[in-house]
Amino acid sequence: MSMLNVDNIQKSFGKNEVLKNISFSLEKGEVLAIIGSSGSGKTTLLRCLNFLERPQKGKITVNGEVLFDGDTYSKQKESEIRKKRLHFGMVFQSFNLFPQYKVIENIVLAPQLQAKEQLKSTGEYMGVKTYKEAQQKIMENALVLLEKVGLSEKKDAYPCNLSGGQQQRVAIARALALNPDILCFDEPTSALDPELTGEVLNVIKGLKTSDSTMIVVTHEIEFARDVADKIIFMADGVIAEEGTPQQVINNPQNPRTKAFLSRFKQNFS
Protein backbone atom coordinates (compact mmCIF):
# COMPACT_ATOMS: atom_id res chain seq x y z
CA MET A 1 0.00 0.00 0.00
CA SER A 2 1.31 3.45 -0.90
CA MET A 3 1.70 6.00 1.87
CA LEU A 4 -0.06 8.65 -0.20
CA ASN A 5 -2.59 8.22 -2.97
CA VAL A 6 -3.89 11.21 -4.87
CA ASP A 7 -6.71 10.26 -7.25
CA ASN A 8 -8.14 12.54 -9.90
CA ILE A 9 -7.89 15.79 -8.01
CA GLN A 10 -9.64 18.62 -9.77
CA LYS A 11 -9.54 22.21 -8.59
CA SER A 12 -10.94 25.33 -10.23
CA PHE A 13 -10.93 28.95 -9.19
CA GLY A 14 -14.08 30.26 -10.87
CA LYS A 15 -13.76 29.26 -14.51
CA ASN A 16 -10.02 28.71 -14.25
CA GLU A 17 -9.38 24.97 -14.00
CA VAL A 18 -6.03 24.89 -12.22
CA LEU A 19 -5.72 21.15 -11.48
CA LYS A 20 -7.12 18.77 -14.05
CA ASN A 21 -7.44 15.23 -12.73
CA ILE A 22 -4.11 14.96 -10.98
CA SER A 23 -3.22 11.45 -9.82
CA PHE A 24 -0.04 10.09 -8.29
CA SER A 25 1.16 7.99 -5.41
CA LEU A 26 4.10 8.04 -3.06
CA GLU A 27 5.71 5.26 -1.05
CA LYS A 28 7.03 5.63 2.49
CA GLY A 29 10.52 7.14 2.49
CA GLU A 30 10.25 8.35 -1.10
CA VAL A 31 11.05 11.88 -2.22
CA LEU A 32 8.89 13.38 -4.96
CA ALA A 33 10.03 16.55 -6.70
CA ILE A 34 7.44 18.59 -8.57
CA ILE A 35 8.75 20.89 -11.28
CA GLY A 36 6.96 23.03 -13.83
CA SER A 37 6.58 26.58 -15.00
CA SER A 38 4.94 29.39 -13.10
CA GLY A 39 1.16 29.04 -12.86
CA SER A 40 1.14 25.31 -13.67
CA GLY A 41 -0.62 24.50 -10.37
CA LYS A 42 2.20 23.25 -8.14
CA THR A 43 1.38 25.38 -5.10
CA THR A 44 -2.34 24.73 -5.51
CA LEU A 45 -1.67 21.00 -5.45
CA LEU A 46 0.29 21.26 -2.18
CA ARG A 47 -2.42 23.49 -0.71
CA CYS A 48 -5.06 20.89 -1.59
CA LEU A 49 -3.03 18.20 0.21
CA ASN A 50 -2.81 20.44 3.28
CA PHE A 51 -6.51 21.37 3.31
CA LEU A 52 -5.69 24.99 2.64
CA GLU A 53 -7.76 24.62 -0.53
CA ARG A 54 -10.65 22.29 -1.16
CA PRO A 55 -10.67 20.42 -4.48
CA GLN A 56 -13.97 20.10 -6.36
CA LYS A 57 -13.31 16.43 -7.09
CA GLY A 58 -10.98 13.61 -6.27
CA LYS A 59 -9.69 11.59 -3.38
CA ILE A 60 -6.69 11.90 -1.05
CA THR A 61 -5.67 8.85 0.98
CA VAL A 62 -2.82 8.58 3.51
CA ASN A 63 -1.85 5.16 4.88
CA GLY A 64 -5.20 3.78 3.74
CA GLU A 65 -7.20 6.49 5.52
CA VAL A 66 -9.35 8.55 3.17
CA LEU A 67 -8.72 12.18 4.16
CA PHE A 68 -10.73 13.76 1.39
CA ASP A 69 -13.31 12.40 -1.03
CA GLY A 70 -15.03 14.91 -3.30
CA ASP A 71 -17.97 12.52 -3.83
CA THR A 72 -18.89 12.26 -0.17
CA TYR A 73 -17.54 15.57 1.08
CA SER A 74 -19.61 17.45 3.61
CA LYS A 75 -18.54 20.45 5.61
CA GLN A 76 -16.17 19.39 8.37
CA LYS A 77 -15.44 20.90 11.73
CA GLU A 78 -12.25 22.94 11.97
CA SER A 79 -10.92 20.48 14.59
CA GLU A 80 -11.43 17.58 12.13
CA ILE A 81 -9.57 19.43 9.40
CA ARG A 82 -6.74 20.31 11.79
CA LYS A 83 -6.35 16.65 12.64
CA LYS A 84 -6.19 15.64 8.98
CA ARG A 85 -3.75 18.41 8.22
CA LEU A 86 -1.32 16.84 10.71
CA HIS A 87 -0.50 14.12 8.18
CA PHE A 88 1.30 16.80 6.20
CA GLY A 89 4.02 19.20 7.30
CA MET A 90 4.41 22.34 5.27
CA VAL A 91 7.45 24.51 4.64
CA PHE A 92 6.75 27.63 2.64
CA GLN A 93 8.96 29.81 0.49
CA SER A 94 8.71 32.69 2.96
CA PHE A 95 9.55 30.80 6.23
CA ASN A 96 6.54 32.27 8.12
CA LEU A 97 8.16 32.04 11.56
CA PHE A 98 6.47 33.83 14.45
CA PRO A 99 8.69 36.93 14.83
CA GLN A 100 7.79 37.54 18.47
CA TYR A 101 8.95 34.08 19.57
CA LYS A 102 12.43 32.67 20.01
CA VAL A 103 13.61 29.85 17.73
CA ILE A 104 12.89 27.16 20.31
CA GLU A 105 9.44 28.61 21.02
CA ASN A 106 8.63 28.59 17.32
CA ILE A 107 9.32 24.85 17.33
CA VAL A 108 7.51 23.82 20.52
CA LEU A 109 4.41 25.99 20.17
CA ALA A 110 2.31 23.79 17.89
CA PRO A 111 3.22 20.48 19.60
CA GLN A 112 2.34 22.05 22.98
CA LEU A 113 -1.11 23.03 21.71
CA GLN A 114 -1.50 19.57 20.24
CA ALA A 115 -0.49 17.99 23.57
CA LYS A 116 -3.04 20.07 25.48
CA GLU A 117 -5.79 19.11 23.07
CA GLN A 118 -4.86 15.44 23.04
CA LEU A 119 -4.48 15.19 26.83
CA LYS A 120 -7.92 16.70 27.18
CA SER A 121 -9.56 14.34 24.71
CA THR A 122 -7.66 11.07 25.29
CA GLY A 123 -5.76 11.62 28.57
CA GLU A 124 -2.48 10.69 26.89
CA TYR A 125 0.17 12.28 24.68
CA MET A 126 3.14 10.31 23.35
CA GLY A 127 2.90 7.85 26.19
CA VAL A 128 2.67 10.40 29.01
CA LYS A 129 -0.34 11.57 30.99
CA THR A 130 0.48 15.04 32.30
CA TYR A 131 1.15 18.29 30.49
CA LYS A 132 4.39 18.78 32.38
CA GLU A 133 5.79 15.47 31.12
CA ALA A 134 4.50 16.23 27.63
CA GLN A 135 6.28 19.59 27.68
CA GLN A 136 9.51 17.88 28.61
CA LYS A 137 9.20 15.39 25.75
CA ILE A 138 8.40 18.18 23.32
CA MET A 139 11.42 20.19 24.45
CA GLU A 140 13.76 17.18 24.16
CA ASN A 141 12.46 16.48 20.67
CA ALA A 142 12.82 20.13 19.64
CA LEU A 143 16.47 20.15 20.72
CA VAL A 144 17.12 17.01 18.67
CA LEU A 145 15.49 18.67 15.65
CA LEU A 146 17.50 21.86 16.09
CA GLU A 147 20.64 19.75 16.12
CA LYS A 148 19.45 18.00 12.96
CA VAL A 149 19.11 21.32 11.10
CA GLY A 150 22.44 22.53 12.56
CA LEU A 151 21.08 25.35 14.71
CA SER A 152 21.49 24.23 18.32
CA GLU A 153 23.37 27.41 19.19
CA LYS A 154 20.53 29.59 17.91
CA LYS A 155 17.85 28.19 20.15
CA ASP A 156 17.26 31.43 22.05
CA ALA A 157 17.63 33.78 19.09
CA TYR A 158 14.75 35.67 17.54
CA PRO A 159 13.96 35.10 13.84
CA CYS A 160 14.93 38.68 12.93
CA ASN A 161 18.50 37.92 14.03
CA LEU A 162 18.85 34.89 11.74
CA SER A 163 19.81 34.71 8.08
CA GLY A 164 17.15 33.60 5.58
CA GLY A 165 18.76 30.18 5.33
CA GLN A 166 18.75 29.79 9.11
CA GLN A 167 15.12 30.90 9.31
CA GLN A 168 14.17 28.34 6.72
CA ARG A 169 16.01 25.63 8.66
CA VAL A 170 14.02 26.58 11.77
CA ALA A 171 10.85 26.35 9.66
CA ILE A 172 11.88 22.82 8.67
CA ALA A 173 12.48 21.84 12.32
CA ARG A 174 9.11 23.35 13.20
CA ALA A 175 7.34 21.30 10.55
CA LEU A 176 9.11 18.13 11.70
CA ALA A 177 8.13 18.75 15.33
CA LEU A 178 4.59 17.66 14.58
CA ASN A 179 5.93 14.41 13.19
CA PRO A 180 4.07 14.51 9.88
CA ASP A 181 3.78 11.48 7.59
CA ILE A 182 4.71 13.60 4.61
CA LEU A 183 6.77 16.78 4.61
CA CYS A 184 5.92 19.23 1.83
CA PHE A 185 8.14 22.07 0.64
CA ASP A 186 6.99 24.84 -1.66
CA GLU A 187 10.07 26.33 -3.30
CA PRO A 188 11.98 26.33 0.00
CA THR A 189 14.99 28.17 -1.40
CA SER A 190 13.52 30.63 -3.86
CA ALA A 191 13.44 33.52 -1.37
CA LEU A 192 17.11 32.98 -0.48
CA ASP A 193 20.30 34.49 -1.80
CA PRO A 194 22.17 31.88 -3.85
CA GLU A 195 24.87 31.43 -1.22
CA LEU A 196 22.25 30.41 1.37
CA THR A 197 20.43 27.95 -0.88
CA GLY A 198 22.94 25.14 -0.35
CA GLU A 199 22.57 24.95 3.44
CA VAL A 200 18.79 24.48 3.16
CA LEU A 201 19.07 21.94 0.36
CA ASN A 202 21.64 20.02 2.42
CA VAL A 203 19.23 19.81 5.34
CA ILE A 204 16.54 18.44 3.02
CA LYS A 205 19.04 15.93 1.63
CA GLY A 206 19.87 14.91 5.20
CA LEU A 207 16.19 14.24 5.89
CA LYS A 208 16.10 11.86 2.96
CA THR A 209 18.70 9.68 4.62
CA SER A 210 16.60 9.59 7.79
CA ASP A 211 13.74 8.16 5.72
CA SER A 212 11.33 11.09 5.66
CA THR A 213 8.67 10.99 2.97
CA MET A 214 8.78 14.31 1.14
CA ILE A 215 7.20 16.32 -1.66
CA VAL A 216 9.40 19.17 -2.84
CA VAL A 217 8.21 21.80 -5.30
CA THR A 218 11.40 23.30 -6.65
CA HIS A 219 13.08 25.18 -9.45
CA GLU A 220 16.42 23.68 -8.42
CA ILE A 221 16.58 21.09 -11.17
CA GLU A 222 20.03 19.81 -10.23
CA PHE A 223 18.84 19.31 -6.64
CA ALA A 224 15.66 17.57 -7.80
CA ARG A 225 17.70 15.18 -9.89
CA ASP A 226 20.01 14.53 -6.99
CA VAL A 227 17.53 13.95 -4.20
CA ALA A 228 14.24 12.81 -5.76
CA ASP A 229 13.17 9.23 -6.34
CA LYS A 230 10.42 10.44 -8.60
CA ILE A 231 9.82 13.62 -10.59
CA ILE A 232 6.53 15.08 -11.77
CA PHE A 233 6.57 17.75 -14.43
CA MET A 234 3.38 19.82 -14.35
CA ALA A 235 2.10 21.98 -17.18
CA ASP A 236 -1.24 23.81 -17.20
CA GLY A 237 -2.75 21.76 -14.41
CA VAL A 238 -1.84 18.30 -15.70
CA ILE A 239 1.04 15.93 -15.06
CA ALA A 240 2.71 16.18 -18.44
CA GLU A 241 5.45 13.72 -17.55
CA GLU A 242 6.50 11.65 -14.58
CA GLY A 243 9.20 9.14 -13.82
CA THR A 244 12.64 8.80 -12.31
CA PRO A 245 15.05 11.75 -12.52
CA GLN A 246 16.91 9.77 -15.16
CA GLN A 247 13.75 9.59 -17.26
CA VAL A 248 12.25 13.04 -16.75
CA ILE A 249 15.35 15.21 -16.47
CA ASN A 250 18.02 13.36 -18.41
CA ASN A 251 15.78 11.92 -21.07
CA PRO A 252 12.45 13.80 -21.27
CA GLN A 253 9.94 12.56 -23.84
CA ASN A 254 7.30 15.26 -23.74
CA PRO A 255 8.12 18.34 -25.87
CA ARG A 256 6.86 20.57 -23.03
CA THR A 257 9.27 19.01 -20.55
CA LYS A 258 12.08 19.44 -23.07
CA ALA A 259 11.16 23.10 -23.61
CA PHE A 260 10.95 23.72 -19.85
CA LEU A 261 14.32 22.11 -19.11
CA SER A 262 16.01 23.89 -22.00
CA ARG A 263 15.44 27.16 -20.12
CA PHE A 264 17.95 26.08 -17.54
CA LYS A 265 21.52 26.76 -18.42
CA GLN A 266 22.89 23.33 -17.68
CA ASN A 267 22.58 20.47 -20.04
CA PHE A 268 21.07 17.57 -18.12
CA SER A 269 21.53 14.82 -20.66
Stretch that binds ligand ATP, among 36-44, 81-89, 131-139, 176-184 (CB under 6 A): 36-44
Among 18, 67, 142, 224, binds ligand ATP (CB under 6 A): 18
Measured from the CB atom, the residue of 111 and 188 that comes closer to ligand ATP is: 188
Number of residues forming the site for Mg ion (CB under 5 A)? 1
Stretch that binds Mg ion, among 37-45, 65-73, 103-111, 127-135 (CB under 5 A): 37-45
Measured from the CB atom, the residue of 126 and 191 that comes closer to Mg ion is: 191
Number of residues forming the site for ligand ATP (CB under 6 A)? 11
Residue nearest to Mg ion (CB): 43
Report the nearest approach of ligand ATP to the CB of residue 188 (Å): 12
43 binds Mg ion (CB under 5 A): yes
Measured from the CB atom, the residue of 44 and 197 that comes closer to ligand ATP is: 44
Secondary structure in 3-state letters for the chain: CCCEEEEEEEEEECCEEEEEEEEEEECCCCEEEEEECCCCCHHHHHHHHCCCCCCCEEEEEECCEEEEECCCCCCCCHHHHHHHHCCEEEECCCCCCCCCCCHHHHHHHHHHHHHHHHHHHHCCECCECCHHHHHHHHHHHHHHHHHHCCCHHHCCCCHHHCCHHHHHHHHHHHHHCCCCCEEEEECCCCCCCHHHHHHHHHHHHHHHHCCCEEEEECCCHHHHHHHCCEEEEEECCEEEEEECHHHHHHCCCCHHHHHHHHCCCCCCC
Stretch that binds ligand ATP, among 41-49, 56-64, 97-105, 254-262 (CB under 6 A): 41-49
Among 3, 40, 107, 174, binds ligand ATP (CB under 6 A): 40
212 binds ligand ATP (CB under 6 A): no
Among 3, 26, 32, 41, binds ligand ATP (CB under 6 A): 41
Report the nearest approach of ligand ATP to the CB of residue 58 (Å): 15
Among 3, 6, 24, 44, binds ligand ATP (CB under 6 A): 44
Burial class from Cβ neighbours inside 10 Å (0-12, 13-18, 19+) for residue 6 reads: buried
CB neighbour burial string for 75-85, b if at least 16 within 10 angstroms, e if fewer: eeeeeebeebb
Report the nearest approach of ligand ATP to the CB of residue 48 (Å): 10
Report the nearest approach of ligand ATP to the CB of residue 263 (Å): 13
| CA distances to 9, 40, 162, 230 from 174, in Å | 28, 28, 15, 25
Report the nearest approach of ligand ATP to the CB of residue 46 (Å): 8
Among 35, 42, 249, 257, binds ligand ATP (CB under 6 A): 42
Binding site for ligand ATP (CB under 6 A): 13, 16, 18, 36, 38-44
